[in-house]
Amino acid sequence: MSSRKPLIAGNWKMHGTIAETEERIAQMLPRIATSEHVDHAICVPFTALQAAVDSARGSLLNVYAQNMHEGENGAFTGEISAGMLTEIDVQGVLLGHSERRSLFGETDKALKLKVPAALNAGLQVILCVGETEDERENGDTERRLRHQVQEGLEKVPAERLGELVIAYEPVWAIGTGRVATPEQAQDALAFVRALVADRDKAAAEQVRVLYGGSMKPDNAAELLALPDCDGGLIGGASLDVDQIIAIVDACTR
């Protein structure tokens, strides 16, 4: 039995005014107050971060950003640095989400710098990886995952690898209702962990690997029970408090 504590992280994407954020957090907090067996996070839009941090202060809920720049400051219009996030007590950051990769040109080369920059600033990191439908059909899933994990982790020292969270999110399962089968998910999650073991065996036992992609209350228990699944990264269902709480409750490890 693994000693890794499960993490249930909601990725709100571009949803949530400040008022909506405060209201959703107020509904969540009493319902997670005794769920200490799980780590809880929400990844909210930049404009709602401060309100989310203030609303969640002193609770079990951690607040993450959805992206950040690798530099400390500079001529990078529209970007936010790790220090700007920690200044307002944001606890973590989602990096390399497939929507950032496919729609906004996020590259493994940039992630190679973003991951250590976030860790050095004291942020918890969720690095997202995952193959497209074409890559899976062409037998390229492992090659894609290897590339994303190796590059993203390249500049992280071995002794810090275990702090990372890596979310395996097959692109074809995101927002589609087409969830990976338990076999597909377990194979990929174990493969991601094995890639970490190639760098450091002890870190591979500590690193948390999440599944993401159409995780819902009705499929969460089966996915969360997989040997290499240490939690979920949840999009659509995280916007509905009843659904995200049902997923937390499905987390029995």
Cβ proximity to ligand 13P, 44 vs 215, nearer residue: 215
Task: Report the alpha-carbon distance of residue 156 to residue 113 in Å, rounded.
Answer: 9
CB of 120 to ligand 13P, least distance (A): 24
Residue 169 catalytic? yes
The binding site for ligand 13P (CB under 6 A) comprises: 11, 97, 169, 174-175, 212-215, 233-237
How many other β-carbons are positioned within 10 Å of the β-carbon of residue 35?
16
Task: Report the alpha-carbon distance of residue 94 to residue 67 in Å, rounded.
Answer: 6
Looking at 70, 97, 99, 131, which residue is catalytic? Answer: 97
CB of 159 to ligand 13P, least distance (A): 28
Cβ proximity to ligand 13P, 56 vs 129, nearer residue: 129
Residue 37 catalytic? no
Cβ proximity to ligand 13P, 32 vs 215, nearer residue: 215
Give the residue closest to ligand 13P by C-beta: 235
CB of 236 to ligand 13P, least distance (A): 3
Task: Report the alpha-carbon distance of residue 66 to residue 245 in Å, rounded.
Answer: 21
Which residues does the annotation mark as catalytic?
A: 97, 169
